[in-house]
Structure 1
Amino acid sequence: MPFDSLGLAPALVQAAAESGYAAPTAIQAAAIPAILQGRDVRGSAQTGSGKTAAFSLPLLQRLAAEPAQAPRRVRALVLVPTRELAAQVGETMRSLAQHLPERLKIAIAFGGVSINPQMMSLRGGADIVVATPGRLLDLVDHNALKLGAVSMLVLDEADRLFDLGFAEELGRILALLPAQRQNLLFSATFPPAIQALADGTLRDPAVIDVQGEPGTEPAIVQRVIEVDANRRTQLLRHLLKENDWDRVLVFVATQHAAQTVAEKLYKNGVYAVPFHGDIAQGTRTGILAQFKESRWDVVIATDLAARGIDIAQLPVVINYDLPRSPTDYIHRIGRTGRAGESGLAISFVSAATEAHFRLIEKRQGLHLPRERIEGFEPTEAPVPMVDASGTGGIKGKRPSKKDKLRAAGALAAAQHDAGEKND
């Protein structure tokens, strides 16, 4: 099926071809006609499936067909959870719009850098704004833009935007938008609780789910290696030495772990660099650019890098620390095996984290064999399974909300302390 059969203008068909899309992906073939018809859309597809182009192409066509305005008013708003994703989506949209006869101004806004250049870029208005929620609200508070003319709203990585970390900011933004608008929600995952919230934002949506469609699954080999927690760095060094990987993305749980593991690798001759939220935005942008050019062998990252970042032909992802949620596991391993390429995802599992990884397997419908590497066989005793309710299974003794919060806080503190001792 060619792009022009979906109703796209020749200029956008040309731009899609120049961006490497020989034919529409499954999510693009399903979403583009629905968006062009003006329908709300909830689109779900695995990472690397072309979701950005799936909403960008029809959005650009609809805006380009409208009469030009002076001054420009923000007609389309794209919200994303991270700075890196904002830059990536904005640049993708600019590339796809380059051949349109009607020039569209696309502004990109995110925190971690001075707000002044972004305010200057919005002088004279913009047609499309791609932004993180916090910086968008800052710009609104500075009267740098108004949202009263927004006719199209896109939530990219929508499940992350609807969770507790962004819920308040998202609520404030939605209150500033016109009630009559087209809503487009895209993500690789929509957990049930998030799905219910998302559906409350949509009106009679086209629900598109191409997960598991035959022939569309990324070719990611998943491996699980058992290792004692305090030997993970040594095992990581061993794997890097034994395998001919040109670039490796390693996920850890904390900023401290990112710094520590990267420093240990670097001292042992591995070109490794940390990547986390406390690093200045300009430095983070440079690290990603250099990593894409293979100037770094290893990037040690927090989950900041798990959402939407597109690194072509990344061969390996390693979960040094397991993700907190099964959903994050999918986003992490989805950094490899993108756009039809093959990839490898390795998870380190210790006696203390085996039960958590079994939960990830259960939620994702997986059952992966455990491996042991000679010289790194685990010696720690398995941790007994604890009843998930925290009550020992006694009927009528369900913990209160305060009990759950106390338990969660104690568990997080214990995991943090264990991580600092083992890194």
Structure 2
Amino acid sequence: MQRRDWLRNGSLAALAAASFHGARAAARPRLRLGMIGTGMRGQVLLRELLRRDDVDVVALCDIEPFMLKRALDQVGKAGKPGPQTFGEGGDPQAWRRLLEVEGLDGVIIATPWEWHAPMAIAAMQARVAVGCEVVAGITLQDHWDVLRTQQRSGTPYMLLENVCYRRDVMAVLQMVRAGLFGELVHLQGGYQHDLRAVKFNSGDPARPYGGGAEFGAKGWSEARWRTEHSVRRNGELYPSHGIGPCAMFTNIHRGNRFTRINSFATKARGLHEYAEAQGGKQHPSAQLKFSLGDVVTTTLACENGETILLQHDTSLPRPYSLGFRVQGTHGLWMDVNHSVHVEGISPPHQWEPFEKYGDKFDHPLWKKYAAAAEGAGHGGMDFFVIHAFVEALKADAPMPIDIYDAVAWSAITPLSEQSIAEDNKTLPFPDFTEGRWKTRKPIFAFDDRY
């Protein structure tokens, strides 16, 4: 990109943002929100919206009547007014009509991955703020398109990555900021979660997890769409749970950036064996060749000299773990053994329980809102990620997980696919900020608002 184009794009983005923000009050006490996608994940997020007194859920869209009815039942049980509904007739473009609802402040997108980019783009073009479930797009071009639309329109966009709000993760962020680990050197994270019973089921709406070897049109819930990605794609398919906190710790886009990436994938065996065990050797699912390696390992290099290792591991039997490790010149934290070692404080060559440090460095957000988050999805994280989106939008403030974070974290997927396809080639990582990372300031959850 030529310098004049960079300056022009920056100016256009600033003008668009001013236009968007100038069209609304500097702050508002209440929001009118819609939701596209009311499946299992959408219903979890809907519950958090319905618990709030500062949100009116005015529109819901889903082309699966069973899920839409369940969402409406949630609204009714919460004692809230019935929203407008879209999609009952099965029209896959019904979501576009939701974006035309008068006075809509924002929309939550909780649909299959391939819909995220087109829906977010259309919403931003309609000047409707976006809270998008992970991921931001499928192809690398998707990510540039989402970014350019946000820059042109100035419409707020937040990636709803809930793990950034996990209590221990936020405490470790406090520890990093306090310099407890010294200068950071190496980090690890990932998505290590046995999803075999998510990717295959019996097709019975009453049993969305396991109980069969069906997927696609014969499957139900995530098996309808998610499994197909394992059939045809090989890469780090779900990076943001791992990379989000690691990016927070290393100030990515705020004085640091990713510079290079490469990925390796093992052979694919787990899904085949599971489908065979559930449906028999002659079942169509057992006849497929799955592209996704059972364990995908991705390494990123950073401008400031850190390395980050991610692992995607969803096709084999294993307990859930995100595998975090934050290591610096003075010590480290690992979540697998829930332990910390700090030189000069911990006994030499020995671990200490994380709780000792977690209590001391508990983040102000958790101290303030722990009671409100009780019972929320994923151990309270879903309260915080919705809270962050709502409060930032109400205050007309920057989104804490913004468009640059969204596209960079999510673009790891197509870049990892390319690396694997090109014999594990190390690739340059795009600078989506186009140099802005040098002067942007950290805003990741530094106070007790959001």
* Pairwise TM-score range, normalised by the shorter structure: 0.3 to 0.5
Normalising by structure 1, we get a TM-score of: 0.34
Of the two structures, which has the highest relative contact order with CA contacts closer than 8 Å and spacing of 6 or more? Answer: 2
